[in-house]
Amino acid sequence: MKNYIKNQIKKSYETKQAIYQNEKLLNEISEVCKLCVELYRGPNKTILAGNGGSAADAQHIAAELVGRYGFDRPSIPSLALTTDTSNLTAIGNDYGYDKVFSRQLEGMGQEGDIFIGISTSGNSVNIINAFKVAKEKGITTVALVGRDGGEMAKLADYSLIVPSDSTPRIQESHILIGHIICDIIEKEIFGDGVS
């Protein structure tokens, strides 16, 4: 069993090593960080959504911004569209599950916001629909995905594609990327910045 555990850790490490060595992906993460910092120098917010484990990641990242990541500072506006069960169930019942995020984004998203859609496959229809609404409203879209990026990567303004086909490895890397984004936002807005 210990060898199996070590192998799982090794696979996680290898995925992160692939990210570490992927200059294109590192540049895209940097661009998204810069966008978010600029966003938070004004009145806008980030909005996140995902399904299943990706819903948990959306909530986790939003909580790091609204609460705190590394140090005490004023709250940063961020919203996970996965947290309101009344909205999710009402929209799902009245319009279908494929509309649970697009309908919320239509009502709460504003021009200048950033919408981060999280999916391991990149083919979550409810996030694809939200990307379409975002385009109509002037909301910048970021796909945090894996595998080949799926349809979300084709629609998004920015695509952060984890180089893996393994759902667990992609999800582990998504939270790493989310933490990096939160860390840079916090330090750039309220700290001494990053070099």
Please write the tens of the pLDDT for every residue from 115-143.
Answer: 999 999 999 999 999 999 999 999 999 99
d(CA 113, CA 137): 9
pLDDT tens per residue, range 82-118: 999 999 999 999 999 999 999 999 999 999 999 999 9
Would you say the pTM of this structure is higher than 0.85? Answer: yes
Contact between residue 75 and residue 45 where contact means Cβ atoms under 8 Å apart: no
Query: What gap in Å lies between CA 12 and CA 97, rounded to an integer?
Result: 32
Residue 195 has pLDDT above 80, yes or no: no
With CA atoms as reference, report the closest residue to 112 among 141, 91, 148: 141
Alpha helices (H) along the chain: 2-20, 23-40, 53-66, 85-95, 100-108, 125-137, 150-155, 167-190
Q: Which helix (H) or strand (E) element contains residue 117?
A: strand 114-118
Question: 177 near 60, Cβ under 8 Å?
Answer: no
